[in-house]
């Protein structure tokens, strides 16, 4: 007696002989003992190999320490030293998004962004950006000047006096208030300080320049370029 079954996404009609053969195969499959030994071992080995591969990926391995030192470009696969890489890791530009994503940068040596790996990338969230925007110019520049001096001392950066002079001149031109006190009153927000402290010298200088006058911005950028050239 034939009956209709659903097989391989199609409706099929099984004749009696085919039905008996199908039942026989199903019975053998049900009576077969579970596989032991080699198959699970292969699965475990494959999982271990996959785990080792994931750990070997840049920045994904647990406990992997990021490299902040400037590596040497060797071999055809090494990233080209871009214009923005000069002064890495303290004076360089922001990381190139293409290199950071593991892609090739078509700009090559003319790219204005850094091609080396960064141990820390300063990313301000919306609240922190609002803090900087609302923070009085005098208070923010005073904070950034202190941070820049600390970083220059710790990293042994020489020739940063030109940047300090520009920012301090902007400070003097900005009257806090008639009483001579900062309009902000008190210490800067701790959350903002925690975010800025691990940032690079170049990143803090760039943030400070945004609070300056147009002339001050140009002077800070020119001083940073001179500082990068001197670091080569």
Q: Could you report the per-residue pLDDT of 52-77, keeping only the tens digit for each? A: 544 444 433 333 333 344 444 444 45
Domain match, 167 and 192 both: yes
**Which among 13-22, 72-81, 104-113, 208-217 has the top mean pLDDT?**
208-217
Percent of the chain with pLDDT over 90: 36
Q: Is residue 61 part of a domain?
A: no
Its domain, for residue 136, covers 126-176+186-231
Rounded to 5°, angle at Cα 137 from 160 and 205: 25
Q: Are 191 and 215 within one domain?
A: yes
With respect to residue 170, please indicate whether it lies within any of the assigned structural domains. yes
* Domain match, 207 and 138 both: yes
In a domain, 39, yes or no: no
Q: Is 146 in contact with 205 (CB distance < 8 Å)?
A: no
Considering the domain architecture, whether residues 145 and 212 belong to the same structural domain is answered as yes
Residues 153 and 198 occupy one common structural domain: yes
Tell whether 107 is covered by a domain.
yes
Looking at residue 66, its pLDDT comes to 36
In a domain, 25, yes or no: yes
Do 108 and 11 lie in one domain? The reply is no
Closest alpha carbon to 201 in 83, 113, 124, 89: 89
71 is a domain residue: no
pLDDT value of position 133: 93
My answer on whether 224 and 143 are in the same domain is: yes
Task: Write out pLDDT tens, residues 150-186.
Answer: 999 999 999 999 999 999 999 998 866 555 444 555 6
Does 112 reside within a domain? yes
Residues 133, 227, single domain; the answer is yes
pLDDT at 174: 80
Q: Read off the pTM.
A: 0.60
Q: What are the two backbone dihedrals, phi and then psi, of residue 223, each rounded to the nearest 5 degrees? A: -65, -35
| 106 and 163 assigned to the same domain | no
Confidence of residue 5 (pLDDT cuts 50, 70, 90): low
pLDDT at 147 over 70: yes
Task: Verify that 87 and 145 share a domain, yes or no.
Answer: no
Same domain as 99, residue 146? no
The count of domains in the chain is 3
More confident residue, 65 or 141: 141
Instruction: Flag whether 56 is in a domain.
Output: no
Q: Is the pLDDT of residue 6 over 70?
A: no
Three-point CA angle 59, 61, 63, nearest 5°: 100
Residues 95-136 have pLDDT tens digits of 899 988 889 999 999 999 999 888 766 778 899 899 999 999
- Which residues are CB-neighbours of 99 under 8 A, at least 6 positions away? 79, 105, 113, 115
Q: How far is residue 76's CA from residue 108's CA, in Å, rounded to a whole number?
A: 13
When mean pLDDT is compared across 14-28, 117-131, 202-216, the lowest value belongs to 14-28
131, 221: one domain: yes
């Amino acid at each position: 007696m034939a009956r209709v079954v659903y097989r391989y996404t199609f409706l099929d009609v099984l004749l009696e002989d085919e039905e008996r053969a199908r039942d026989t195969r199903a019975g053998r499959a049900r009576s077969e003992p579970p596989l032991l030994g080699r198959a699970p071992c292969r699965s475990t080995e494959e999982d271990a190999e996959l785990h080792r591969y994931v750990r070997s990926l840049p920045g994904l391995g647990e406990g992997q320490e990021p490299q902040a030192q400037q590596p040497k470009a060797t071999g055809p696969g090494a990233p080209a030293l871009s214009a923005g890489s000069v002064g890495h890791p303290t004076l360089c530009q922001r990381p190139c998004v293409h290199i950071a994503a593991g892609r090739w940068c078509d700009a090559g040596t003319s790219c204005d962004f850094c091609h080396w790996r960064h141990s820390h990338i300063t990313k301000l969230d919306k609240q922190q950006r609002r803090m900087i925007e609302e923070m009085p110019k005098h208070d923010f520049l005073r904070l950034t000047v202190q941070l820049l001096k600390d970083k220059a001392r710790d990293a042994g950066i020489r020739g940063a006096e030109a940047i300090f002079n520009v920012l301090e001149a902007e400070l003097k031109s900005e009257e806090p208030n008639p009483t001579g006190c900062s309009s902000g009153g008190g210490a800067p927000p701790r959350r903002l300080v925690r975010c800025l402290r691990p940032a690079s010298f170049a990143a803090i200088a760039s943030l400070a320049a945004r609070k300056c006058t147009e002339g001050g911005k140009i002077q800070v950028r020119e001083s940073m370029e001179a500082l990068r050239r001197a670091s080569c």
